[in-house]
Amino acid sequence: MGFPLTLLDLAGSVALLLWGMRMIQTGVQRAFGARLRGFLDRALRNRLTAFVAGIGVTAGLQSSTATGLMVAGFAADGLLDLVPALAVMLGANVGTTLIVQVLSFDVASVSPALVLIGVLMFRRATAATRDFGRVLIGLGLVLLSLRQFLTLLTPYEDVPSLRLLLGAIATEPVLDVVLAAGLTWAAHSSVAVVLLIMSFAATGTIPPQAAFALVLGANLGTALNPVLEIAAGADRAARRLPIGNLLTRVVGVLIALPLLSYLGPWMVTLEPDSERAVADFHTLFNLFLAAAFLPLLTPYAALLRRWLPTRVAADDPSRPLYLDMSAVETPIVALGGAAREALRLADTLEAMLSGLRDAFERADRRKLVEIRRLDSVLETLNTAIKSYLTALDPGAMANADHLRAQEILCFAANIEHASDVVNRNLAGLAARGIKRALVISPEDRAEILLLIDRLIGNARIAASLFVTEDARAARLLAAEKEVFRDIETRATQAHLARLRAGEADMPEVNAWHLDIVRDLKRVNAHLVAAAAYPVLESKGELLPNRLRHDGGTDDT
C-alpha cells in the first residue's frame, strides 16, 4: 500500500474514532440527559461534591465540553456560584481520563461483539434500549478505530524519514505541546487525541517523554474551545468559567513542562508499558491540578471576578441573552436557555400591559409609543427563540426534549399573539379614546382597569407556571377564562340594555367599551393557552373538545 493511501486510511481511522466518541456522548445524553442535569443540580452544593459530580458525569458523556455547557447553563440561571462551577470543571478534566484508562488495556478484541450487541439493541422499539445500543456501537467503533490505527502504523515504525521527523519533534517539548494543543482544538476532543498519542507510544513511534509533552498539549487544547467559542460581545462574567479552566491548565503545563526530564524516566520506571504510562501520566496530571486548585478556588474565583467584572451597561432589550449557540450540541442545556429567554417574553408583555393601563387611566400618549417599541422587542426575541430551537439536532433529542421544545414554542407563540392584540387592537382603542375624548362611566372605567390588573397577574402566573408546571396553578389560570367570559357577557348585555333604553347619544362609547373588554378577554385566552393548557393536557385534565355527546351531556 502506498504512503498516500496509508494517510487516507489513517484519516479514516481518526474520523471513525471521533464518530464513535460522538455516538457514546449522544447516546448517554439521550438516555440520561435530563437525569444528569438533575443530578448536577443536587450535587452542586460545595466544591467536593461538585468535583465528584464532574468526574461522574464526564465519564458518562465522554466530553468535558458537554459537562461544561451544563454547568454554564446553571451559572447563567444564577443557580451556581463560580467556586463549585470551577470544581466541576476540575472533576470533568479528571473524568476524561477514565475512558483513557479503560482503553489503555487490550480490549480491542471485544469491539465486534460490542457493535453486534449495540446494533441488536438499536433495532429494538424502546427508546432507552436504542440509546444504550448507540453507546455500545460507539464504544465498539472507538476500539475498532484504535486497532486499525495500530495496524496501519506498524509497517512504518522503522521508516528512517518518519523516525527522523518524529525524533526532531521529540527533542522540542514546547513544539509537542503546541502541536497537540492545535490538534485537540481542531478535533474538539482531548480523549481522542490522547488515544492517538497512546497508539504512537505503543508502537514506539515516539519516545515516552515526547508522548508526555503531547499529553500536556492535549490538556491545554481542550480548554481552548470554550474560550474561543464565546461570542465576542458576551458579558465578561460569562467568560470567567472557561478562562478560569484554561488558566488552571496553563499553570499545570508551565509547571510540568520543565519537570518532564525528571518525570519521564520516573513514569517509565513506574510503568514499563508505554501505552499505559501515557494513560497514567494523563490521569496524574489532572489529579495534580485538582489537588492543587481545589483548596484555592475561593481566592481564585475572587480574582476572576475582579479581572472579569459583570457588565453594568444597559443591553439592547431585543438582544437574546440566553441563546448560547455553543450549547446547541447539548439539547438539555439549549432548551434551558430557550426557556429562560421565553420568560423574557412574559416580562415584556407585562410591561406592555402596565403601559396600557396608564394609557387608559391617564390618557398618556407616550405609553402607546412605548407599547409599540416593546411589541417590536417581543417579536425580535420570539423570532430568535424559534430560530434557535430549529437549529437543534432532532436526532440528539430525547422524547422529553421534543416535548419541552414544543412547550417553549407554544408559550412563545401565544405570548406574541397576546402582544399583537395589545399593540394592534387595545393600543389603537386607547389612542382612539384619547383622540376623540371618549368618556365612559366611572364603573366601566374601573372595570377596564381592574381587568388589566387581572391580566398582569395572570401573565405572572403564566410565567411561573411555565417553570413549575404545577397543576393547581394551571387550574387557577384556566378558571380565569370563565371570569373573563362572564365579564364580557355582562358588558354585552349592558350594551344591549342601553340601546333598548334609547341611550342613543353614546353608542360609540358603549361599542368602544365593549371592544376593549373583548380584546382583553382575547389576551387572557392566549395566556391560558400559553401555560395552563399544556400542563393540564400533560396531566390528563384537559378535554379534547367542548361538544355535547349523545344524550345531551356537555363535556365541560
pTM of the entire predicted model: 0.56
pLDDT in tens, 160-190: 655 566 666 666 888 889 988 988 887 667 7
Q: What letter represents residue 499's amino acid?
A: L
Residue 107 within any structural domain of the chain: yes
Residue 551 within any structural domain of the chain: no
CA 467 to CA 250: how far, in whole Å? 40
Asked if 420 and 467 sit in the same domain, the reply is yes
Residues 6+ apart with CB under 8 A from 424: none
DSSP letters, 476-499, are HHHHHHHHHHHHHHHHHHHHHHHH
Q: What is the SS3 assignment for 316?
A: coil
Q: How far apart are the first and last CA of the chain?
A: 77
Phi, psi of 114 (to 5 degrees): -65, -45
Cα dist from 328 to 333, 387, 391, whole Å = 8, 11, 7
Residue 253 within any structural domain of the chain: yes
> Is 92's pLDDT higher than 70?
yes
Q: What is the SS3 assignment for 452?
A: helix
What is the rounded average pLDDT for all residues in the chain?
81
CB burial of 424-456 (b: ≥16 within 10 Å; e: otherwise) equals ebbbebbeebbeeeeebeeebeebbeebbebbb
- Beta-strand ranges (E) seen in 153-213 are none
Q: What is the SS3 assignment for 104?
A: coil
CATH, residue 341: 1.20.58.220
CA 121 to CA 143: how far, in whole Å? 19
Contacts 24+ apart (CB under 8 A), 168-174: 169/206, 169/210, 170/206, 170/207, 170/209, 170/210, 173/209, 173/210, 173/213, 173/257, 173/260, 174/213, 174/257
- Helix or strand (DSSP H, E) at 405: helix 399-420
Residue 546 within any structural domain of the chain: no
Task: For residues 49-60, give the mean pLDDT.
Answer: 80
Q: What is the SS3 assignment for 554?
A: strand
- Looking at residue 154, its pLDDT comes to 58
Q: What are the residues facing 554 on neighbouring strands?
A: 548
Residues 6+ apart with CB under 8 A from 197: 180, 206, 211, 214, 215, 218, 278
Retrieve residue 207's grid coordinates. 519516545
pLDDT in tens, 137-147: 887 887 787 67
Asked if 303 and 340 sit in the same domain, the reply is no
Retrieve residue 212's grid coordinates. 508526555
Q: Which of 223-237, 452-466, 502-516 has the lowest mean pLDDT?
A: 223-237
Task: For residues 196-219, give the mean pLDDT.
Answer: 84
Asked if 386 and 279 sit in the same domain, the reply is no
- Beta-strand ranges (E) seen in 58-163 are none
CA 544 to CA 555: how far, in whole Å? 9
Evaluate whether 353 touches 459 at the Cβ level (below 8 Å). yes
Residue 199 within any structural domain of the chain: yes
Residue 67 within any structural domain of the chain: yes
Task: For residues 23-49, give the mean pLDDT.
Answer: 69
pLDDT in tens, 431-456: 888 888 877 778 888 889 999 999 99
Work out the pLDDT band at 292, boundaries 50, 70, 90: very high
Task: For residues 407-416, give the mean pLDDT.
Answer: 94
Asked if 286 and 409 sit in the same domain, the reply is no
Evaluate whether 170 touches 207 at the Cβ level (below 8 Å). yes
Asked if 212 and 249 sit in the same domain, the reply is yes
Retrieve residue 262's grid coordinates. 525528571
Asked if 282 and 392 sit in the same domain, the reply is no
pLDDT in tens, 488-530: 888 888 777 776 666 545 667 778 888 999 999 999 999 999 9
Cα dist from 258 to 223, 264, 382, 424, whole Å = 21, 11, 53, 69
CA 461 to CA 473: how far, in whole Å? 7
Asked if 215 and 335 sit in the same domain, the reply is no
Asked if 461 and 344 sit in the same domain, the reply is yes
- Looking at residue 241, its pLDDT comes to 84
List the domain range (segments joined by +) for residue 224. 3-157+169-307
Task: For residues 55-63, give the mean pLDDT.
Answer: 71
CA of residue 138 relative to chain centroid, distance: 23
Last residue of a domain, one of 272, 307, 342: 307
Asked if 347 and 296 sit in the same domain, the reply is no
Asked if 303 and 428 sit in the same domain, the reply is no
Last residue of a domain, one of 292, 307, 322: 307
CA 242 to CA 64: how far, in whole Å? 11
Evaluate whether 531 touches 462 at the Cβ level (below 8 Å). yes
Asked if 185 and 301 sit in the same domain, the reply is yes
Q: How many domains does one find in the chain?
A: 2
Asked if 409 and 507 sit in the same domain, the reply is yes
Residue 263 within any structural domain of the chain: yes
Phi, psi of 191 (to 5 degrees): -60, -45
CA 132 to CA 128: how far, in whole Å? 6
- Looking at residue 546, its pLDDT comes to 54
Residue 268 within any structural domain of the chain: yes
- Helix, strand, coil percent content, the chain, rounded in steps of 5: 80, 0, 20
